[in-house]
Amino acid sequence: MRVRFVWPGKTKSPGIRACQEFYAARIRPFAGCEIIETRAARGVPEKAAARILSLEAAGIEKSLLGGYIICLLDRGKEMTSREFSNLLSAREREPGRPLTFVAGGFLGLADRIVARSDVRLSLSRMTFSHELIRIMLLEQVYRALTINRGLHYAK
């Protein structure tokens, strides 16, 4: 199985970036793992939200081709870790398309990206920073992969 994580902009916080790399390294023995940091909309005032979302969507779209797309949204479906592991397990049985997780920037995702998704997923009803969500997503993918292989993972 190949897993791609796509989001706009580089992770700025060194601590969060280190955690991101920690979990990506833990995923790699189980699945091909690629983190794709697309171009973020820089220099555009926040009041031009539609323009920011459109610019970020243009970069994200290039990484979606051929993938089974799971978009992270606050209004997406919530799952337990076991349910999430079952979703990944089902995707492993159909290896033709890479599993592509898409997390938005501070404004979320453009509607045209969400419309292309196969699954809309929420990690929580709470609001978290877009950088923190990256770690949470990576950790949950790692957890799901260990569940699917019957390995012990600390709770």
- Write down the pTM of the prediction: 0.93
Question: Strand 32-38 vs strand 2-8: parallel, antiparallel, or unpaired?
Answer: parallel
Model confidence band, residue 30 (pLDDT cutoffs 50, 70, 90): very high
Per-residue pLDDT averaged across 10-14, rounded? 94
Per-residue pLDDT averaged across 103-132, rounded? 95
Per-residue pLDDT averaged across 109-132, rounded? 95
Model confidence band, residue 31 (pLDDT cutoffs 50, 70, 90): very high
Superfamily of domain 2-148: SPOUT methyltransferase, trefoil knot domain (3.40.1280.10)
Dist. CA 6–CA 71, nearest whole Å: 10
Dist. CA 58–CA 107, nearest whole Å: 15
Would the pLDDT of 118 be above 80? yes
Would the pLDDT of 94 be above 80? no
Domain residue spans of the chain? 2-148
Q: Tell me, what's the pLDDT at 54?
A: 95
Burial, 138: exposed, middle or buried (Cβ in 10 Å; 0-12, 13-18, 19+)?
Answer: buried
In angstroms, what CA-CA distances link 42 with 19, 49, 70? Answer: 25, 12, 25
